[in-house]
Amino acid sequence: MPLASTLLPVALAIVMFGLGLTLTLADFTRVVRFPKAVFVALACQIIVLPLLTFGIVALSGLPPLLAIGMMLIVSAPGGAIANVLSHIFGGDVALNISLTAVNSVTAIFTIPLIVNLSIAYFDPSGGQIGLQFQKTLEVTVMVLGPVVLGMLIRRFATRFALAMDKPVRIVSMIILAAVITLTVIGNLAVLAANLGPLLLLALLICVMSLLVGFFVPRLFRVSPAQSLASSLEIGLHNATIALVIGQVVLANPVIAVPAAVYGPVSIVLGLVAAIVFRSVIRRTAGDPAPQAASEPEPDVTVEA
């Protein structure tokens, strides 16, 4: 839909600008303080999760464009809603923010790779819908440009950045809700024909992501609080990025449909998972601190 295509870049700019307002260079350099937790989480998100999702989607019989869209949402980095849930339920918020920062950069390389491989497998005769160099550059500018601007404002006008936190958060959520609604309305026939499989896959993949994000780090003796942070970061993807790439960059609204389904589903399941994992942590190791005592609590904002 033309209106949705117009609103989406605006929504993404606001969401990523809001993310930038919460970031500092320390959020990127902090990863050296817990390299194992970061490495395991990134390996799960960049390698393990896409491979598992590919297997599930390939066996599902989902139409090619929807299959590509499902791989697209899985390749998107985490959204800052993970930071909020982590803060509420005792996860390591500092790790969440660092993962979000690093993922937002690495996604510029991993999204084109995963999407192009998915297109080659699911729709090899689909024509020029891949993320070639020019389109990848377009994604880079749309994703990183507002983040850098937000970080500069945070660095040189901290009070203004903090004051803008709530307005940006509210506007981004309203615009995203509108875009998801328009995406659904514009693809009602596709959604109606595939709602059952899409919902089932969204539920299955989200649950799998949350479980992998929690238990794989635990296998590597990552702390419970950091494992909770990893689970939320891996399970709650930035639906706005997936919607923009599918509907605006690839110019194929059908590819954006899985993101419109996965976004709301992941928020609900993320909340449930946070409650369950916090209960598990309490029973096995006592009530965890939100983060290491030596680490100042970062600002937390909400985005899709």
The count of other CB atoms within 10 Å of the CB of residue 29 is: 11
What contacts 57, CB < 8 A, 6 or more positions away? 67, 70, 71, 122, 201
Give the pLDDT confidence score for residue 299 in this predicted structure: 54
Distance CA 93, CA 119 (A): 35
| CB 95 within 8 Å of CB 226 | yes
Q: Which domains does the chain have, with CATH numbers?
A: 2-285 (1.20.1530.20)
- Which residue is listed with tokens 């870049």? 9
Distance CA 93, CA 37 (A): 13
Residues of the chain above pLDDT 70, percent:
89
Taken as a whole, the chain contains a residue count of 304
Provide the token pair at 258: 């899985």
Give the pLDDT confidence score for residue 294 in this predicted structure: 40
Give the pLDDT confidence score for residue 288 in this predicted structure: 44
Which of 3-12, 142-151, 268-277 is the least confident region? 3-12
The single-letter code of the amino acid at 178 is A
Segment 108-139, tens digit of pLDDT: 888 888 988 998 899 877 555 666 667 777 77
Segment 134-164, tens digit of pLDDT: 777 777 787 788 888 988 998 888 888 888 8
Indicate whether 291 pLDDT > 60.
no
Which of 184-198, 240-254, 258-272, 281-295 is the least confident region? 281-295
Give the pLDDT confidence score for residue 128 in this predicted structure: 53
Indicate whether 297 pLDDT > 60.
no
Give the pLDDT confidence score for residue 127 in this predicted structure: 56
Indicate whether 286 pLDDT > 80.
no
Mean pLDDT, the chain, rounded, equals 83
Provide the token pair at 201: 């896959």
Distance CA 110, CA 77 (A): 10
The model's confidence at residue 296, banded by pLDDT at 50, 70 and 90, is very low
| Residue 14, Ramachandran bin (φ over 0: left; ψ between -120 and 50: alpha; else beta) | alpha
Residues of the chain above pLDDT 90, percent:
33
Segment 23-65, tens digit of pLDDT: 788 777 777 888 899 999 999 999 999 999 999 999 998 999 9
What contacts 81, CB < 8 A, 6 or more positions away? 236, 267, 270, 302, 303, 304
Segment 167-193, tens digit of pLDDT: 887 887 787 777 778 778 878 888 888
Distance CA 254, CA 252 (A): 6
Rounded mean pLDDT of 233-260? 87
Q: What is the pTM of this model?
A: 0.82
